[in-house]
Amino acid sequence: MSDTDALIRIGPWLLLILAAEFVNGWTDAPNAIATVVSTRVMHPGTAVLMAATLNAAGAFAGLEVASTIGQGIIDASLVDIQTVGAAMMGIVIWSTTAWWYGLPTSESHGLVAGLTGAGVATAGWEAIQWEGWKKVLIGILFSSFLGFFFGLFFMIAILWIARRWRPSTVKTVFGRLQIVSSAFMAFSHGSNDGQKFIGVFTLALVLGGLLPEFAVPWWVILLCAATMGVGTAVGGWRIIKTLGLRLTRLDPVHGFAAETAAGLTIMGAGAFGIPLSTTHTISTTIMGVGSTRGLSAVKWGMAGSIVTAWILTFPICGLIAYVTARLVR
């Protein structure tokens, strides 16, 4: 079979992966710019362009997470291209539903759950590689508890440093610094979350016979990064509104603290190939930052809705992928 024939055969599955990446742009990539838009430091259009560019740059910065997702969750020798496509269905259906209600979901966890559910439907539990799942569980620890307390203590440190500054000085200085922290957050998002669908796309090329082994081509990085950027531009405002306006009131100093704390957490995890949820990370750092003004400053009802969506992601995406894989077969 020629490469052209193979591409035609697996083309619909590749488009489904890009659809999941597009939805990722709706629901996950806006995390990088939610605070800088909500504090009115940057215009939404400019922020989206910056996020798309630096997400792509972050994806080129390393491929450890792409390798974990592409090779460390399911055994490629026991599954096929339909397995990957079924996993994408779980993400597209669940994340689109949550996006409609303005709830940020974790495509990272949806992706892992979907691959697991589809893998079990295809080849049983022996298709699952538990070493990769260990990294996912470590990522949950990084993105939740570490994110919250890092945001809390980072904000306390900033307040101590700027305790004698005039309010106007604080606003001016951190308004400028927040542009830098938002850029850093976008870059770190690409270095971790942006790599996940790159890993899946590459896995699909291997399963489809277009690549002899798992090695990420440069054009896959560009294609996935561009797809995610378009998704952010089309539908990202719902998530920006939830994280930037409905979770707690943010000023530039709070946005800077949340983005910097989240970016450092994500970069630290990415260096070890740990796939974590950028949604979890920025949400918990915002909660931590907001808590410095008192626990009542955080709208815990909205926080509870976000956490509920996180918890439901694993079983729902896994079940949809499992059922889809069984139907396809």
pLDDT at 235 over 70: no
pLDDT at 242: 59
> For 275-286, what is the mean pLDDT?
79
Q: Read off the pLDDT of residues 134-149 as tens digits, 9 standing for 90 and up.
A: 888 887 777 777 888 8
Calculate the dihedral angle through the C-alpha atoms of 190, 191, 196, 197, rounding to the nearest 10 degrees: 40
Q: State the pLDDT confidence band at 255, using cuts at 50, 70 and 90.
A: confident
Highest mean pLDDT among 87-101, 114-128, 184-198: 114-128
pLDDT at 321 over 90: yes
For range 30-37, the mean pLDDT = 72
Q: Which of 110-124, 133-147, 217-231 has the highest mean pLDDT?
A: 110-124
| Averaged pLDDT, 271-285 | 79
Please give the average per-residue pLDDT across 223-245, as a whole number.
69
254 vs 300 pLDDT, higher one: 254
Q: What is the mean pLDDT of residues 79-86?
A: 91
Residue 109 has pLDDT above 60, yes or no: yes
Sort 49 into a burial class: Cβ within 10 Å, 0-12 / 13-18 / 19+.
Answer: middle
Residue 271: its pLDDT value, please?
A: 76
Per-residue pLDDT, 119: 93
Residue with tokens 């569980």: 137
Average pLDDT over residues 174-187: 87
Residue-level pLDDT at 323: 95
> What pLDDT sits at residue 86?
93
Q: Give the C-alpha distances (Å, rounded to integers) separating 211 from 124, 180, 202, 217, 273.
A: 25, 38, 8, 9, 22
Identify the residue with better confidence: 299 or 113.
113
Confidence category of residue 9, pLDDT binned at 50, 70, 90: confident
Q: Convert the pLDDT of each residue in 39-64 to its tens digit.
A: 777 777 787 778 777 877 777 776 77
* The predicted structure's pLDDT at residue 302: 65
pLDDT of 246 over the 80 cut: no
For 74, phi then psi, to 5°, come to -125, 155
pLDDT value, residue 237: 61
